[in-house]
Structure 1
Amino acid sequence: MEYQLSQAGNKGKVLILKVTGIFFVALAILGVVLPILPTTPFLLVAAACFAKSSPTMQRKLLANKTFGPLIHDWQKYRSIPRKAKRIALLTMILSVCWSAFMLQSVMLTALVVALVIGPFIFLLRLPESK
């Protein structure tokens, strides 16, 4: 009886991880189109979910010509390519500038800067791969 409950629990975890992985892939796809959403972090979360739930989906992500190398570098070396890092940082800066222009409020602009500063510093400090 205990074994059956354990098996059911594992199946539930696997299903939740697969659904979560698919959700983050969808967010990553939106991130390709919308400059306010990052793409790579969502793919990294999806790859981590698929690593524990669906090796087939993980292989598909790693086999992707565009995103596979980014995921591989992160998983193996905890680094991102210099070009991806520069694009991400520049996009964050431009998004903050655009937000400041559109909001025209010092308080709201300060809030945007406060929300972006942590991820900006995190990304800035990441090691770069070749």
Structure 2
Amino acid sequence: MLRVVYLLLGWLCVAVGLVGAVLPVLPTTVFMILAAYFFAKGSPRAREWLVERSVFGPHIKAWEAEGAISTRAKLLAVAMMALVFGLSVYFGVAWWVLAIQAVCLLAAGSFVLTRPAPRESP
């Protein structure tokens, strides 16, 4: 039964990650890494399918092997964070929401930027 739960969580993460590929407010790579984790516990075949995708596989492998994020992915992530914050300012989001958003985005951006680059770039 637990394997089924892990498999469902894995597919949920894949779905949210694919939505994140279109919407700048959801981090695609994080959800794909989570999907790989859940698939490893629930379905090795599904994990292999995900890790073998040319778009996500190298990033997942780099994270699992080295805790690394490619320079391109770092720049894209930080750019999307800045875009979301800029849109929030543009649309007049309340100051206290902007403050919370700024703290969260600064923390997330700092984390992403301080990860090493993979030895072999994905």
**TM-score of the aligned structures, taking structure 1 as reference length:** 0.86
Write out per-residue CA displacement over residues 80-126 of structure 1, whole angstroms, 9 at most, x where no aligned residue.
11101110011111111111111253222212212322211111111
Q: In the TM superposition, what are the counterparts of 1:7-22 in structure 2 within 5 Å?
A: 12-22=1-11
Identity level (%): 30
Change in 2 beyond 3 A, CA 1:104/1:63: closer
Structure 1 gap ranges (5+): 1-11
2: CA distance between counterparts of 1:45 and 1:27?
A: 11
Find the partner of 2:19 among 30, 36, 47: 30
Structure 2 gap ranges (5+): none
- Larger Rg computed on CA atoms: 1
Find the partner of 1:83 among 72, 76, 92: 72
Task: Give every structure 1 segment of 4 or more consecutive aligned residues whose post-TM-superposition deviation is greater than 2 Å.
Answer: 103-108
Aligned equivalent of 1:114: 103
**How many residues end up aligned between the 2 structures?**
119
Find the partner of 2:81 among 73, 89, 92: 92
Point out which structure has higher relative CO (alpha carbons under 8 A, 6+ apart). 2
Structure 1 or 2: more helix by fraction: 1
Across the aligned residues of Structure 1 and Structure 2, the Cα RMSD in angstroms comes to 1.2
**TM-score of the aligned structures, taking structure 2 as reference length:** 0.91
